[in-house]
Amino acid sequence: MPQLNHFDVIVIGSGPGGEGAAMGLTKAGLDVAVIEKESSVGGGCTHWGTIPSKALRHAVSRIIEFNNNPIFHTENTELHSTFSTILSHAKNVIDKQTKLRQGFYDRNQCTIINGTASFTDEHTVQVIHSDGSIDYYSANKFVIATGSRPYHPNDVDFSHERIYDSDSILSLEHDPRHIIIYGAGVIGCEYASIFRGLGVKTDLINTRDRLLAFLDNEISDSLSYHFWNNGVIIRNDETYQSIEGVDDGVIVNLKSGKKMKADCILYANGRTGNTDTLNLEAVGLEADSRGQLKVNSNYQTTVAHIYAVGDVIGYPSLASAAYDQGRFTAQAISQGQAANRLIEHIPTGIYTIPEISSVGKTEQELTAAKVPYEVGRSAFQHLARAQIAGKDVGSLKILFHRETKEILGIHCFGGRSSEIIHIGQAIMEQKGEANTIEYFVNTTFNYPTMAEAYRVAALNGLNRLF
Ligand code: FAD
């Protein structure tokens, strides 16, 4: 065995989970190394997931905004763009994010080791570098933050040039006129917005009976309506019989007997935790059928000195939560216990066009639990700021207890929803009487702003009480 480099903690993976852990640990004075199999830091979040999809979506929504605004365009000046063109915007953002994140590691003197890690025993990992050379490193503790990847069913040939997943779609070079998106979860719906916004004929195959069933029904219905209105063909309750790549595209046979052909397919149905290459047997750990690891409230796996965070532990599988989980793990390692927990109501931000964001309970959940709630609504079309910005599609809905007036859920549909939601979230997080819908009528907001939606919705809801 060659001489080992030893660290207090080795973090495997440099996505938000790994970064949060590494920064917390170095700031606590520990000697930390991060092993990353790619040539630069940032994780799937920066390179294939959150950042590129949001940058693409931003570019598309600006194009739509321009084309819909009579001040900017006439028939002759309408903007047209393609997926490959707007990818350059995403690449710019990825580069900026990567440099920024590399700076965090440099400033905090955290060692970065490039290569693929796997355990050889409880305290040692082997790292295979891109040139094939191998090094070994040991540590007292480990944090597994290896993320997840798109699920690939065995009967779909992902090596075919017209069959993409949410990672490989970023290398799409031809500009499809027609795309099939298989899987109508968050990723499928976001990419449906992007492609349709570019004028690509888009078929969205949903294996469930409604879009994003975890959302409040009205919000999910609104998304279906807007997709329908913009020409996305949604096929609910369908599963594929076969997906066949051909020279000029892809043919999908559905179990219901339907047949579809398009220039390419984006398969976006499920993700798998990246645990298969870690040689977990060497440390006595076992992942479940989705490649995920179980952890306790300190993010400790069943092997006490090995922790896990981010997508590799499953729900909520969000970059936002992964950063926090990483920081909490650093507390658990450096102080013996995580000082904080993930909040109960993690907001959902869905960057479809229009955007969606929610926090707390849905109407269905409250009705099932027999909670006597009331609804306050504000339509964006009546807000001065929305009219000025030409963003009159959308609404904000506040669900509150009709006796205590406690805010129970907030659901927002329309431009900037994922920002607007945080105003309500901050009040919902307050304890006791500080969390009531009355806050929004007893305070003074800037005017005109989208935040005014809270005041309007609160007045609307309180007026329903008798
Ligand atoms: P990752 O970011 O995936 O990082 C894991 C890292 O580990 C990778 O760099 C990988 O190369 C490395 N690694 C893996 N195995 C090894 C190994 N054996 N050795 C060394 N290194 C290894 N979340 C949001 O909050 N908001 C969004 O809007 C959002 N949009 C998304 C859009 C898409 C298309 C996708 C796919 C995801 C999106 N997510 C979003 C989810 C978010 O990207 C993930 O939850 C987040 O990246 C998880 O962070 P992580 O640190 O667990 O893993």
Say whether pLDDT at 433 is over 90: no
pLDDT tens by residue, 210-256? 999 999 999 999 999 999 999 999 999 999 999 999 999 999 999 99
* Residue type present at position 323: Y
Instruction: Convert the pLDDT of each residue in 11-28 to its tens digit.
Output: 999 999 999 999 999 999
Domain boundary among 269, 294, 315: 269
Residue 76 has pLDDT above 90, yes or no: no
Q: Is residue 220 in a domain?
A: yes
Q: What is the pLDDT of residue 264?
A: 98
| Pair 39, 84 in one domain | yes
Asked if the structure places residue 343 within a domain, the reply is no
Q: What is the predicted pLDDT for the residue at 402?
A: 97
In a domain, 346, yes or no: no
Q: Do residues 90 and 139 both lie within one domain?
A: yes
For range 340-347, the mean pLDDT: 91
Q: Ligand 1: does its nearest atom lie under 6 Å from the Cβ of 197?
A: no
Give pLDDT, residue 391: 86
Q: Structural domain of residue 295, as residue ranges?
A: 5-150+272-335
Say whether both 396 and 431 belong to one domain.
yes
**Nearest residue CA, atom 37 of ligand 1?**
49
Q: Which pLDDT does position 449 carry in this prediction?
A: 96
Burial (CB count within 10 angstroms: exposed 0-12, middle 13-18, buried 19+), residue 317 = middle
Last residue of a domain, one of 221, 242, 269: 269
CATH of the domain at 422: 3.30.390.30
Whether the per-residue pLDDT at 356 is higher than 60: the answer is yes
Rounded distance between C-alpha atoms, residue 92 and residue 77, angstroms: 26
Using the predicted structure, report yes or no on whether residue 44 has a pLDDT greater than 60.
yes
| Residue 143, both tokens | 């944090």
Judgement on whether residues 74 and 186 belong to the same structural domain of the protein: no
Q: What is the pLDDT of residues 400-428, one digit of tens each?
A: 999 999 999 999 999 999 999 999 999 99
C-alpha 294/C-alpha 308 separation (Å) is 8
Residue 349 lies in a domain: no
pLDDT band per the 50, 70, 90 thresholds, residue 3: low
Residue 194 lies in a domain: yes
Which CATH number characterizes residue 300's domain?
3.50.50.60
Tell whether 342 is covered by a domain.
no
User: Looking at the structure, do residues 278 and 301 belong to the same domain, yes or no?
Assistant: yes
- Mean pLDDT for the stretch of residues 184-195: 98
pLDDT of 378 over the 90 cut: yes
Judgement on whether residues 276 and 265 belong to the same structural domain of the protein: no
Both 210 and 118 in one domain: the answer is no
Ligand 1 center from residue 390 Cα (angstroms)? 34
Residue 345 within any structural domain of the chain? no
Average pLDDT on 345-370 reads 97
Q: Is the CB of 116 under 6 A from ligand 1?
A: yes
251, 269, 287: which is the final residue of a domain? 269
206 plus 112 within the same structural domain: no
Q: Are residues 407 and 290 in the same domain?
A: no
C-alpha distances out from residue 400 to 405, 442, 453, Å: 5, 16, 15
Say how many CA atoms lie within 13 Å of 117 toward its Cβ.
29
Ligand 1 contact, 143 CB (< 6 A): no
Pocket test for ligand 1, best of 37, 50, 102 (most atoms within 8 A of CB): 50
Out of 61-65, 136-140, 150-154, which region has the weakest mean confidence (pLDDT)? 61-65
Q: Is residue 324 part of a domain?
A: yes
Cα 172 to averaged position of ligand 1 atoms, centre (Å): 20
| Domains contained in the chain, number | 3
257 & 386 share domain: no
Mutational test site, ligand 1, from 125, 146, 357, max ligand atoms within 8 Å of CB: 146
The model's confidence at residue 281, banded by pLDDT at 50, 70 and 90, is: very high
> Ligand 1 within 6 A of 36 CB?
yes
CA distances 415 to 173, 231, 297, 354, 385, Å, are 29, 19, 36, 6, 12
pLDDT band at 72 (very low <50, low <70, confident <90, very high): confident
pLDDT at 280: 98
Q: Are residues 362 and 331 in the same domain?
A: no
In DSSP terms, 358 is beta-bridged to 348, 411
Atom of ligand 1 nearest to the CA of 322: 49
pLDDT tens digit sequence for 311-341: 999 999 999 999 999 999 999 999 999 998 9
Q: Do 223 and 370 sit in the same domain of this protein?
A: no
Give dist(CA 111, CA 141) in Å, integer: 15
